[in-house]
Amino acid sequence: MGSDVTLHANPQGRGRRFRSEDRYFTPAIAEEVCERYAMGETLTQICRDAHMPQPGTIRLWTVTNKGGFFKEMFEAAQVLHLLGLADQIIEIADDNARDQGENANAAVYRSKVQIDARKWILAKLLPQKFGDKPVKLGNDRRQLIIELVKTHLPPAEDGNATHPAT
């Protein structure tokens, strides 16, 4: 194991510190963090438990691939977490329980803010699925798509296959 080097000290002297080797990491804690994160809890919520490290420590475990397995496990949990946010967008949009009465406008606005925040996170962290712009195709993939389109177009009246100008 490496040395117990402080990477970041809390200037107020409260709370825990990041450490290159910390006492919180165990396979059981790693699994619990990933399972709870995949099920939709935020790192802040998870880390409120006394037996959990700070969110920054968990991020450090990901960057350093703590235990030789944490990075892959956490990234898989993150994808599931993000897909859960997509489900939450539908739930929020479909919930009209507070859309009437004095605070109806505030409730609708709050729902819009919640949806927009989730959409922004999804577009940034999973742009290939939820981004506003299509992912750029490389020249090889673009050419492959052009060839596939050409082969599936009906022949023109003159007997030649119709195809878009390239």
Domain residue ranges in the chain = 6-130, 136-166
pLDDT 10s digits, 5-64: 344 444 444 444 444 446 789 999 999 999 999 999 999 999 999 999 999 999 999 999
pTM: 0.63
Q: Which CATH class, in words, describes the domain spanning 6-130?
A: mainly alpha
Q: How confident is the model at residue 82, as a pLDDT? A: 93
Report the distance separating Cα 157 and Cα 80, nearest Å.
Answer: 51
Beta-carbon count within 10 A of 100 CB = 9
Amino acid at 25: F
**What is the average pLDDT across 100-109?**
84
